[in-house]
Amino acid sequence: MKMIAVSAVASLSIAVGAAFAQDTDMPFGSEVEIDFAERLWDHMEEERLAGPEMIRSFPYMGSEPHGMMLETFYAVGTVGDHTGDLVVKRNFGPEGVSIDEVLASPDTHLGAYTVMFRREEGYDPDNFDWFWARYNPDGSVAQNPAGMALAGRVAKGMEDGCIACHQGAADDMVFTSDHLVAD
Ligand code: HEC
């Protein structure tokens, strides 16, 4: 019995240690990053870039992985006392959906929002200080198949994911515009 109790304590402390490491070392998915993503969502709703009151634009044909029909907005956003470039992409589906169908009923075709927000200097100097997030249509932060929240320096250091793929875009890691080159 004693042995069992000891090992239970040992594994508890390992679990606590991992939780701490999550907030400091993990490039994405920690409580801190999720909290920031939620504040960014509130800002996007206020600016009508997302949510029930959002401003619409004419969707264009996209490509994988973002979906076949997209709307993209280039803005400047503010969270707390920091203001930076904000790119909001709305991803519509399913595959094969027509522009008319999306225009007739955008809400039912909305699959996700993918967002880049330029954080304060030093947040991620390797990657132009971009904060990455993927949201479900209801504004909750999406998760990858492993259950990690997609918010923060998403998949930094990994072979696939937001950062690895966007490193293939021009100087600022933005594919669709060259106007957001960092100072
Ligand atoms: C496999 C490659 C790939 C991955 C992974 C990827 N993207 Fe993209 N992303 C693209 C491409 C290509 C475009 C431009 C074409 C388009 O509009 O779909 C783009 C466009 C964007 C844009 C509009 C600004 C721009 O660069 O043109 C945002 C915002 C964005 N992605 C966010 C994300 C986020 C957040 C993630 C991770 C959750 C992610 N992307 C993962 C390839 C990728």
d(CA 74, ligand 1 centre) in Å: 13
Q: What does the alpha-carbon distance between residue 19 and residue 13 come to, in Å, rounded to a whole number?
A: 10
The answer to whether residue 153 is domain-embedded is yes
> Which ligand 1 atom is nearest residue 155's CA?
37
Count of structural domains within the chain: 1
Task: Kindly report the pTM of this predicted structure.
Answer: 0.86
* Structure confidence by residue, pLDDT tens digits, 5-64: 333 333 333 333 344 434 446 899 999 999 999 999 999 999 999 999 999 988 888 877
The answer to whether residue 9 is domain-embedded is no
* Structure confidence by residue, pLDDT tens digits, 82-129: 999 999 999 998 888 888 999 999 999 999 999 999 999 999 999 999
Pocket of ligand 1 (CB under 6 A): 62-63, 65-66, 70, 72, 87, 89, 114-116, 132-134, 150, 154, 161-162, 165-166, 169, 174-176
Q: What does the alpha-carbon distance between residue 61 and residue 10 come to, in Å, rounded to a whole number?
A: 53
Q: Tokens for 107, please give them.
A: 């809400």
State residue 2's pLDDT score.
Answer: 40
The answer to whether residue 81 is domain-embedded is yes
The answer to whether residue 176 is domain-embedded is no
State residue 98's pLDDT score.
Answer: 87
Non-local (6+) Cβ contacts of 54 within 8 A are 48
**Residue to mutate (ligand 1; options 61, 66, 173; most atoms within 8 A of CB):** 66
Q: What does the alpha-carbon distance between residue 134 and residue 89 come to, in Å, rounded to a whole number?
A: 9
The answer to whether residue 179 is domain-embedded is no
State residue 122's pLDDT score.
Answer: 97
Segments forming the whole domain that contains residue 52: 28-166
State residue 156's pLDDT score.
Answer: 96
Residue 135 · residue 113 · CB < 8 Å: yes
The answer to whether residue 49 is domain-embedded is yes
The answer to whether residue 180 is domain-embedded is no
The answer to whether residue 155 is domain-embedded is yes
